[in-house]
Structure 1
Amino acid sequence: MRVAVVVVTWNALGLTRRCLNSIRDQQLPAGTQMQLVVVDNGSQDGTAAALRDEPDVLLVALPDNRGFGGGVNAALAATSSDVVVLLNNDAVAEPGFLAHLVAPFGAGTPRLGATTGLVLLSGSFVPAGPTGPALVGHDGRRWARSSEDGVRLVNSTGNEVTRSGNGRDRDWLRPAGTVSAAAEVFGFNGGCAALSRAALDDVGGFTEPLFMYYEDTELSWRLRRRGWDVRHVPDAVTVHDHAASSGTASAFFLDHNERNRILVCLMHAPWAVTLRAAVRSAVRVAVGPQRRRRARALLAALARAPWALQQRRAVDRTATVPRAVPAALLVPDGASS
């Protein structure tokens, strides 16, 4: 089995080197060939020059920032591996990660499109008070990072989509020792996943106009509509500095998340889900905080709606599985399963 490990980076040489070193230390099953691929999205910090001299790295240096999906697509064009592993540049792979993540592809599962591992947040956390900076889980619990002894929290066991079209990490902020995630999950987490080249050849690569965020959810919809499975592999573990490159409070992060949530609904979700997503956004524009920013994101989604609907029709023409089948995997908007 030939495996290409793809890391997309932009102005983060130190993080990227740390990530690559964690892959270099991995033990691989007999007969597995690994290739390290770094896609540099036009960094200005010397990343391309620094990595060009590393003999075990295939560097794909792009002249500008094409986002996560564009970066992965450039790697796909430059490689011919049987399996493509995606790893965030701000993550570190734990021992055994790679072997566990790719093993299911050699286990006689011809319709396996993707595997997705267990992502832990870096550091430790303690319960947070009702005010002040905190990360908030699907269950409403608030957590603050702690320099003292705390608990390890889960970042993701794969991607799920709610019945109002919200794509999110399954098991987000659940204490690591309490999680026993089901093998079947709607979609893969793009920062900790392995994709079958056969599946990618079947459905196509990432949708580049999304640029960043929701690209993995969108591709998961297409995999599901063509009958490909996505499986969670709990022993494939990474530790992630969540949103180290853009920050979850940045306008860039929030705008792209809100815009792309609507667009992916238009491309794939049942109309009832799309309607709930649109109403949710409209209500937030009317009465929620940051109304001007939210209005800007909603208008950006509406401007791209004709394109999204065109994509919907294209997917429907080639789908072999009814929309209702993956839609049955959607979860309530409350606590994660």
Structure 2
Amino acid sequence: MPSTTVVVVTWRGREHITACLDALARQRPHRTLVVDNASDDGTAGLIAAHPSRPEVLRLPVNRGYAGGLAAALPTITTRYVAWLNDDAVPDDGWLAALEDALDATPDAAAATPSMLLADGSTQSVGVRLTADGHGADLVLAGREVFGFCGGAALLRRDAVERVGGVPAAFFCYYEDTDTAWRLRLAGYRVLSVGPARVHHRHGASTNPGSRPFHRWNERNRLLTLLRCAPAGTAVRELVRFAAITALLPLRRATPDAANFHVPLRVRVLLEVLVRLPVTVAQRWRIGRRATVDRRAVWREWAGR
């Protein structure tokens, strides 16, 4: 029996999913499960015709990357679950290297590979926690990192279930940082496995820099902090975000990036406030499961 189920979440992935599935067919034996987020561009036909015959979970609506992963998790019984973007093409030894790393490290719950961009430069070898609570890509790291890049990671299925699964309501972005936070709070480690390499068409499915991109990033960072970080840190960053939003109209010049547009930031704040009662309840449940103090995780990893 294979040790891993590789979950590929796709939405309108016709232009790139074939390369992803071709690469998966050359990996160590595993189960492939494609979650199709109601694609309407012919993606379903390409998946059905692929020689590897992947299993397919077709959702009636687009639930995003986080929602697709969450929908797949209850169907998985293998020891490991891999998260893989549909625009990622792993090298032949990718899965074997990640499985071997976790097999050899029982207290690690996740392994993250080297993700390379089209020009050969490194996009990520893991995720770091910035001093203000952002999850940011690392391009140089040792064996252990704070978190994993969700575009091509391997996780222990039982550990993910134990810490509450995948935050489906995030839609996309920060589902990996939030999960890494909860794994850290449960006492698990996260490994960076450089020899496991993945080539990533960054932004093929979403548009980095767009309004939805910044909305999901800003909202989900704040929700992650409210769910997982020390209370003082979470409140500080929420107040800071609100204060910057209030002061932006008074500044003579502001960056043109969408995350500095006041209407978008107000929408983010409203979405966070609407979710606040549920988020507080989730924070309580996360705290009940934790074996490591939130402040200890923050002290060890924030700003590194």
Structure 1's unaligned 5+ residue stretches are 124-151, 172-178
Change (3 A) 1:112 1:199: same
Contact kept, 8 Å, 2:133 with 2:302, in 1: the verdict is no
Moved more, 2-11 or 54-63: 54-63
Shift of 1:196: 0.7
Shift of 1:110: 2.2
Identity of aligned residues (%): 39
**Residue in 2 that maps onto 1:21:** 22
**Residue in 1 that maps onto 2:221:** 261
**Residue in 1 that maps onto 2:53:** 56
Alignment of 1:100-115 (within 5 A): 100-107=97-104, 109-115=105-111
Contact kept, 8 Å, 2:69 with 2:168, in 1: the verdict is no
Shift of 1:200: 2.1
**Aligned-partner Cα distance in 2 for 1:300–1:74:** 23
Report runs of 4+ in structure 1 exceeding 3 Å deviation: none
Q: CA-to-partner distance for each residue in 1:156-212, whole Å, 9 max, x for gaps?
A: 1112222211122123xxxxxxx3x11111111111100112212322310111111
In the alignment, structure 1 residue 44 sits paired with structure 2 residue 15: no
One of 50, 64, 81 as aligned partner of 1:67: 64
**Residue in 2 that maps onto 1:91:** 88
Contact kept, 8 Å, 1:258 with 1:298, in 2: the verdict is no
Q: Secondary structure at the match of 1:230?
A: strand
- What is the identity, as a one-letter code, of the residue corresponding to 1:228? Y
**Residue in 2 that maps onto 1:232:** 192
**Aligned-partner Cα distance in 2 for 1:261–1:73:** 19
**Aligned-partner Cα distance in 1 for 2:72–2:54:** 12
One of 152, 157, 160 as aligned partner of 1:200: 160
**Aligned-partner Cα distance in 2 for 1:193–1:104:** 12
Q: Secondary structure at the match of 2:30?
A: strand
- What is the identity, as a one-letter code, of the residue corresponding to 1:154? T
Structure 2's unaligned 5+ residue stretches are 249-253, 255-259
Higher helix fraction: Structure 1 or Structure 2?
2
Change (3 A) 1:95 1:49: closer
Shift of 1:53: 4.1
Contact kept, 8 Å, 2:124 with 2:137, in 1: the verdict is yes
- What is the identity, as a one-letter code, of the residue corresponding to 2:301? L
**Aligned-partner Cα distance in 2 for 1:228–1:246:** 31
One of 89, 92, 114 as aligned partner of 1:118: 114
**Residue in 2 that maps onto 1:303:** 274
Q: Secondary structure at the match of 2:300?
A: coil
Contact kept, 8 Å, 2:127 with 2:148, in 1: the verdict is yes
**Aligned-partner Cα distance in 2 for 1:115–1:42:** 29
Q: CA-to-partner distance for each residue in 1:256-283, whole Å, 9 max, x for gaps?
A: 1111111111111113322342244224
Alignment of 1:6-17 (within 5 A): 6-17=7-18
- What is the identity, as a one-letter code, of the residue corresponding to 1:330? W
Q: Secondary structure at the match of 1:51?
A: helix
Contact kept, 8 Å, 1:264 with 1:308, in 2: the verdict is no
**Aligned-partner Cα distance in 2 for 1:166–1:105:** 26
Contact kept, 8 Å, 1:97 with 1:238, in 2: the verdict is yes
One of 129, 135, 139 as aligned partner of 1:167: 135
In the alignment, structure 1 residue 34 sits paired with structure 2 residue 34: no
Q: Secondary structure at the match of 1:329?
A: helix
Q: Secondary structure at the match of 2:172?
A: coil
- Report the TM-score, using the length of structure 2 for normalisation: 0.90
- Report the TM-score, using the length of structure 1 for normalisation: 0.81
Q: CA-to-partner distance for each residue in 1:83-137, whole Å, 9 max, x for gaps?
A: 1111111111123211111112222x322211011111112xxxxxxxxxxxxxx
Contact kept, 8 Å, 2:3 with 2:78, in 1: the verdict is yes
One of 207, 212, 222 as aligned partner of 1:252: 212
One of 322, 328, 331 as aligned partner of 2:293: 322
- What is the identity, as a one-letter code, of the residue corresponding to 1:71? G
Contact kept, 8 Å, 2:67 with 2:170, in 1: the verdict is no
